[in-house]
Amino acid sequence: MGKLIADMRGLQRVAFTIIVSLVVISANTPAWAKDFPDKIGVLMINHGEPAEYNSETYQDFKAFVKHMIDVGFMPKFLMSIDTGTILMDEKNDHWVPFWKRSLVDAWGNKYNGFAFYVPGNEKMGIPPHYLKIFGRGRGEPDVFEYAGLEAYKVWQEMGGRSPYREQTVPQMENVSRLLKMRYGDKISVKIAYGFEQGDIENKTKELLDENVDILIVAPQVVVDSYFEGTLHWIKEVHNALNEYALEKGKTIQLIETEPMGLERDFIKGIVLKVKEELSNIPSNANVAIFLSNHGFPLTRCGDYDCQSDPYHHYAREIFERIE
């Protein structure tokens, strides 16, 4: 029992290291790590965001919308609505003669042929668009094409490329590097992106193929939710573990870390940042400090009870700790 407790404390130290991205560098493996299993797998999960929008990354947006439908966030009947190929005019939000149009479909393909104009329905969230009866969109639910075109529009507004990955990849790679420096061949680290269809499951399988004995899953999120975590990311991890257990007849211990927003060092970082900003403001100034997060609805979202999602509990706890 004593050895088990010692092992678990050691694993908690590893998880803590990942969450707050702080590692004490050492050339030698710590004494407590010598009693660890031969291999510990660490899966760092980032929400992810495609650098570019194209026909391949369209599939990622489609998969995310499908997840929203599967958990009840959106009604399932949307899957049965298919009017053809939805086209967006990049230059106009109303009908114009064909020679003034710049039509594009959800896969990023330009189109110059004949198409019907559909004024849309603001109450139903359907934007004005053009419709091609056949084409690539025939057989594809309209809801996926609408989501893809909306993403295409956002990416165009960013100049065609999102800076998200350039900002987050170095952070995660640095944590991976420090972990390997600290624990050497005792640990194997993989980075997965939740928004990329199947990436979490594939990276989990890669770790399992390295014969890890324990798997630590550490989402790089400040506030977690069932909607995105348990019912999406962690579900992919379990899919890989179940498949591995059936094939190899071996079960792997799984440890899920808490949201990094609950860690003391993260809270301390927020407070220090606020103090830094306040130091640039006159001492007699009236200052209002707003604590904000991504946000999540406080009502039912279709069949999904957004109000009961633990997201709200985590967010409140983080705000209270910062205050």
pLDDT for 2: 31
Q: What angle do CA 59, 61, 62 make, to 5 degrees?
A: 60
What 3-state DSSP class applies to 232?
helix
pLDDT for 284: 86
Fold of 2-49+163-259: Rossmann fold (3.40.50)
pLDDT for 23: 35
Beta carbons of 66 and 232 less than 8 angstroms apart: no
pLDDT for 18: 40
Question: At a CB cut-off of 8 Å and minimum separation 6, what does 92 contact?
Answer: 100, 101, 102
The pLDDT tens digits along the chain (323 residues) read 333 333 333 444 444 444 433 333 333 455 545 566 578 999 999 888 899 999 999 999 999 999 999 999 999 999 999 999 999 999 998 999 999 999 999 999 999 999 999 998 888 788 899 999 999 999 999 999 999 999 999 999 999 999 988 888 898 899 899 989 988 888 999 999 988 889 999 999 999 999 999 999 998 888 888 888 888 899 999 999 999 999 998 888 899 988 888 888 888 988 898 899 888 998 888 888 888 888 889 999 999 999 999 999 888 888 888 87
- Compute φ and ψ for 126, nearest 5 degrees: -100, 115
pLDDT for 19: 42
pLDDT for 203: 95
pLDDT for 31: 52
| pLDDT tens digit sequence for 290-316 | 888 888 899 999 999 999 999 998 888
pLDDT for 34: 56
Neighbours of 181 (CB within 10 A): 12
pLDDT for 27: 38
pLDDT for 33: 54
The tally of CA atoms less than 13 A away on the side-chain side of residue 257 is: 28
Domain ranges of the chain: 2-49+163-259, 58-157, 265-322
Residue 18 vs residues 157, 173, 190, 258: alpha-carbon distances, Å = 34, 11, 12, 11
pLDDT for 10: 40
